[in-house]
Structure 1
Amino acid sequence: MIRIDGSKGEGGGQVLRTSLALSLVTGTPFQVVNIRAGRSKPGLLRQHLTAVKAAAAVGDAELEGAELHSKELTFRPRSLKCGEYHFAVGTAGSATLVLQTVLPALLSASGPSTLVLEGGTHNPAAPPFDFLAKAYLPLVRRMGPVVEATLDRPGFFPAGGGKFRVSVQPAPLKPLHLLERGNVVRRQATAMFSQVPFDVAKRELETVGRRLGWSEAERRVEELKRAPGPGNVLSLEVESEHVTEVFTAFGERGVRAEDVAAAAAEEARVYLEAGVPVGEHLCDQLMLLLALARGGSFRTLPLDGHAQTQIETFAHFLDVKVAVHEVSTQARDVQIKG
């Protein structure tokens, strides 16, 4: 039984989600203590508990400690099962994080799977649906499996109520090497809003134009009429020859639209100036895929705490070596060998 201290590294839910994913793939039971000890509300919240139960369903697992606010969990997978699944967070908690918990296992299952996920689809501190569909899943497909995602309706914090569907055709993961971005072929800034003034989206896009020099043709407004509650998200999509990256910022009550846009624009600017193909958030997810493929490499920005936490969690479950080399002050090469 592997024992993991959830307070190590970034101290959030990532240790739990990655451990669940790797436990399913390897069939290795584990116990995690001090769950989310680094957060203001430690222990399992609704979205984390949904991820745990989703992993248990996919892996026919035995559970101990799977309760709200629990700080310890024991997870014993028995057999990996493909099939049709429906997971609902029940709050505005991130449904995309639930998907990223079970998807690595379903990529190697014995047959295809379909999933319906409900909850938050566009959440701060979680990958929004647009990131999954445009940045992450295209790389999954390049590695072998065929995964498609369709958004039925968006769900913003605090109302939630979003819904999306995912189809998975499993295949062995092939190593991927992504060291060059290539030329930027398309840029698109999209200010999405639901039940908030149009002026908010307009000001966000004007700020993107000023800060990044993106033309009017590269900026668009999208009103989301199917969302159950109010919300606003600014998405900056950078499509290059070899990869697409997506940067997002979320409108909040009391935060100026210009400040929301400035945060997303700054993240995109740093990425573009560094000349790397893989951004900060995609780094964590791609690293997990390459670890499961037992090989690959990519160039990215200097690693943050989330990436370091991923590397430390891999060591519990996988015999892979992760090497990080400094290319410049703005770039790092990550190499994974199994």
Structure 2
Amino acid sequence: MHKNNLEKITSARLVLDGSTGEGGGQILRTGLALAMVTGRPLHITRVRAGRPKPGLMRQHLACVQAAVAVCGGQVEGAELNSQTLVFTPGEVRSGDYRFQIATAGSCLLVLQTVLPALMLADGPSKVELAGGTHNPMAPPFDFLERAFAPLVRRLGVGLELQLQRRGFYPAGGGELVAHIAPATPARPLAPVDVLERGPLHNGWGEALAPGLARHIATRELEALGQRMGWTFEAGQLRQPPTRQTEGPGNALIATLEYAQVAEVFCQLGERSLSAEQVAKRLVDEVRAYQRSTGALGPHLADQWMLPLALAVWRSGQAASYTCSEVTQHTDTNAQTIAMGLPVRVQITPAAGAMRVEVSPLP
């Protein structure tokens, strides 16, 4: 990391407009993470202005409180429905943390907020999280464990995730543990290119339906198998065991393991949707990814951008990845990262995909 770059990002506070782009909670979470890793005060206005109910909800407050705990920071405006937040970070501290999110707020979004700081901390950390693990509008645990965490480990960071108990909307009650080992001088943070998937090694689907009639999961898997060519006999259609205390809830998940990357797609069941409709939605998502040549799917392209940008910043080396599409969510995240770190994020069309290049500013 160049000295002049460090001076640039710590010389002024980071001011973000929460109505930018898709105008959701990602601007808040990325902003908090950037403030913690740079030591730069954060001022956000019009928080979540693009949502039907703008301002801080309980799960967003949980992200703010987790950031305060990890760096001993100070905050103003951390109240329900607040649309303005001022966060002054302190020094990031490794250690053991436990965060509980009210009702079924996503555990994974809280982890997303503190992970960037803890992967640059001075020692390993253990983060216990309680709340939702399979939520609408949030990555499920399976996605982070199988798709996101392996990429983070390629940067030189240790990230191991353990699921203790699933938590579905609206009851929540899920539990997970994250073990984070930051990069070291002997194994420094280093960016990697992720340009190709490589050959497909394995693919399978699984249905989670704790607390619901068993036929729901069976019908979902049968419909998924018909569309994907997967069978129970080949072990490609699975119904993992669930605990009696989990649920009620329903998630249909498809996992594709390629030589260089894994992708996970998830659709949550709803009362208004039949099992067959849930399966069709999932297959449509998988097929859209398969029609592309991009290495990462739309959600992984979004989640991967900040960890990669941190590695680019700290190493001074550029890196790229390809993805099936760039959503408005991803584009907004790119704008936010470029405001908080001395990096350039360039998004250009590629053959059958989109290419994202993150490079350090001179």
Contact kept, 8 Å, 1:193 with 1:223, in 2: the verdict is no
Q: Cα offset for 1:302?
A: 2.4
Root mean square deviation, CA, Å = 1.1
Look up the SS of the partner of 1:177 in the other structure: coil
Who is 2:278 aligned against?
260
Partner of 2:92: 80
- Is the contact made by 2:338 and 2:345 (CA closer than 8 Å) also made in structure 1? no
What residue is the counterpart of 1:311 in the other structure?
334
* 1:17, distance to aligned residue in structure 2 (A): 0.3
Q: Answer yes or no: is the 8 Å Cα contact 1:212–1:269 preserved in 2.
A: no
In structure 1, how many angstroms separate the alpha carbons of the residues matched to 2:39 and 2:244? 40
What percent of counterpart residues are identical? 47
Q: Normalising by the residue count of structure 1, what TM-score does the alignment of the two structures yield? A: 0.97
2:267 pairs, out of 225, 230, 249, with: 249
Which residue pairs with 2:296 in the alignment? 278
Partner SS for 2:62? helix
Rounded to whole Å, the distance in 1 between the matches of 2:96 and 2:244 is 25
Contact in 2 for aligned 1:159/1:228 (Cα 8 Å): no
Aligned counterparts of 1:185 and 1:316: Cα–Cα separation in 2: 39
C-alpha change, 1:226 and 1:86, in structure 2 (3 Å) is: farther
Q: Is structure 2 residue 104 aligned with structure 1 residue 104?
A: no
Task: Quote the offset at 1:173 in angstroms.
Answer: 2.4
Q: CA deviation at 1:315?
A: 2.1
Post-superposition offset of 1:227: 4.1
Q: Which runs of 5+ in 2 are unaligned?
A: 1-12, 313-317
2:210 touches 2:248 (CA, 8 Å); kept in 1? Answer: yes
Identify the structure with the greater strand proportion.
1
Does the 8 Å CA contact 2:14/2:35 hold for their aligned counterparts? Answer: no
* Residue number in structure 2 paired with 1:321: 344
Task: Give the 5 Å matches for 1:15-34.
Answer: 15-34=27-46
1:66 partnered with 2:78 = yes
CA contact (8 A) 2:19 2:49 kept: yes
1:205 aligns with 2:200: no
Pick from 325, 331, 334 the counterpart of residue 353 of structure 2: 331
Further displaced range: 47-56 or 212-221: 212-221
Taking the aligned partners of 1:22 and 1:2, their CA distance within structure 2 comes to 9
- Residues 35-69 of structure 1 show CA distances to partners (whole Å, capped at 9, x for unaligned) of 11111111111110000000011111110000111
TM-score normalised by length of structure 2: 0.91
| Alpha-carbon distance, 1:213 to partner | 1.8
Distance 2:198 2:231 in 1: 21
Instruction: Say whether residues 1:147 and 2:159 are aligned partners.
Output: yes
Query: Matches of 1:201 and 1:276 in 2, distance apart?
Result: 31
Deviation at 1:226, TM superposition (A): 4.6
Unmatched tracts of structure 1, length 5 or more: none
What CA deviation, in whole Å up to 9, does each residue of 1:75-108 have, x standing for no partner? 0001111101000002101011000000011000
Deviation track 1:21-48 (CA, whole Å, cap 9, x = no partner) reads 1111111111101111111111111110
Is residue 46 from structure 1 mapped to residue 58 from structure 2 by the alignment?
yes
Q: Aligned partners of 1:106 and 1:35: how far apart in 2?
A: 25
Deviations 1:221-243 (A, max 9, x none): 12422544300101100000000
Asked if the contact 2:209–2:247 (Cα under 8 Å) also holds between the matched residues in 1, the reply is no
Alignment CA distance shift 1:79-1:226 (3 Å)? farther
Q: Following the alignment from structure 1 to structure 2, what is the Cα–Cα distance between the partners of residues 130 and 302? A: 21
In structure 2, C-alpha distance between the alignment counterparts of 1:215 and 1:180, rounded to whole Å: 27
Residue 300 (structure 1) aligned to one of 296, 316, 323 = 323
